[in-house]
Copies of this chain bind each other. A is one copy, B any other.
Amino acid sequence: MTEPKIRAIVWGCGHMGQIIIKYLKDKGVELVGAIDRNVSRVGKDAGEISALKRSLGTFIHHPDEAKQVFHKANANVCIISTRSLMIDIYDSLETSARHGVNAITLAEEAFYPWNTSPDLTQKLDKLAKEHNCTLTGSGFQDVFLGNLISILAAGTHRIDRIQAIIQYNIDGYGSSVAAQYGVGLSVEAFKQQISGYTEPFPSWYMNEWLCAHLGLAIRTQKQEFWPITNIKTIHSTSLKTDISVGSVTGMKAVVTTETEKGVIIENQVLGKIYTPDEIDTYECTLVGEPTTTLTIHRPATAQMTCASLVNRLQHLIDAPPGFVTTDKMQPPNYWM
């Protein structure tokens, strides 16, 4: 590394933050601060609770002490992996910006927040410019639902439709996610409680990013939620109960974007309780001339998510000040 050493604050020391702390250490990034609102983590050594499983001498503070952490740390990046929406991570981004510290977050909305939270994003953009730092969102979607599709497109003569399908086992994500996906509901109850859900699904922002990156103006964008049921009783480990035949075991969330140039972008996420023969898959098809389907079986999504973010740190530092979404940055690259 010829660049000055990166000094990072990790805000959010849950599953993702714990992997990120290890990756930072592996890359020679110094952990100079750690913040988490979970009281069971506050006061602990961030290295010890991380995937690294050894002391780094950096202790976890509650968000109420965030200003003191920033004041002491002399950080040049802050990595936020807490919540999904701009409104929920606004305070952490604002705190970072006010201290002139570049921030990057896994929050799905931050990947492309310009349309869904324009006011918050413009406020943060202004603040970041005033304090000469950059704010952005990254993660799995930056590489696998953004730049990878863009490169695949470069090997295609004519694109009519871009279709991404991701399937994952929601039993690995705790009971609140299972409930959010309607697991255990009847199909009727799913239709009443889930189908009309209006808050943008995470892939909403990914389609918007892709359109911005490919230079496609959006004509319409919609989301639909379809219940998935099973023909055999299956057990949910997260809900600790059997899901009976005909009940909902998960859902298919489809975000469809029509563009002015006629290209359709469709993102399908299938989150469900698996039967024994099912595996996680990532699949992307460009329909056109020629039609190409690219598949990744059993993607290690959590590791890919954290690696994608950590590999972006140098770009974050080098980017101009403001809220700069990654569609406006150079493509991500492997950082050795």
- A interface with B by C-beta (< 8 Å): 23, 26, 140, 143-144, 147-148, 150-159, 214-215, 261, 289-297, 299-300, 303-304, 306-308, 310-311, 331-334, 336
| Minimum Cβ distance to chain B for residue A22 (Å) | 9
A307 x B155 contact (CB < 8 A): yes
Contacts A148-B151, A151-B143, A299-B292 given: A156-B333 contact, CB under 8 Å? no
B215 x A336 contact (CB < 8 A): yes
B153 x A333 contact (CB < 8 A): yes
Q: How far is the CA of A150 from the CA of B154 in the complex (A)?
A: 14
Q: Which residue of B lies closest to A148 (CB)?
A: B151
B144 x A155 contact (CB < 8 A): yes
A334 x B304 contact (CB < 8 A): no
Q: How far is the CA of A148 from the CA of B157 in the complex (A)?
A: 16
Q: Which residue of B lies closest to A290 (CB)?
A: B300
| Minimum Cβ distance to chain B for residue A168 (Å) | 15
Of B290, B293, B296, which is within 8 A of A304 by CB? B290
Contacts A295-B296, A303-B157 given: A334-B214 contact, CB under 8 Å? yes
Q: Which residue of B lies closest to A283 (CB)?
A: B295
Of B143, B154, B307, which is within 8 A of A334 by CB? B154
| Minimum Cβ distance to chain B for residue A162 (Å) | 10
Chain B residues with CB below 8 A from A303, complex form: 157, 289-290
Q: How far is the CA of A7 from the CA of B306 in the complex (A)?
A: 45
Q: How far is the CA of A31 from the CA of B3 in the complex (A)?
A: 47
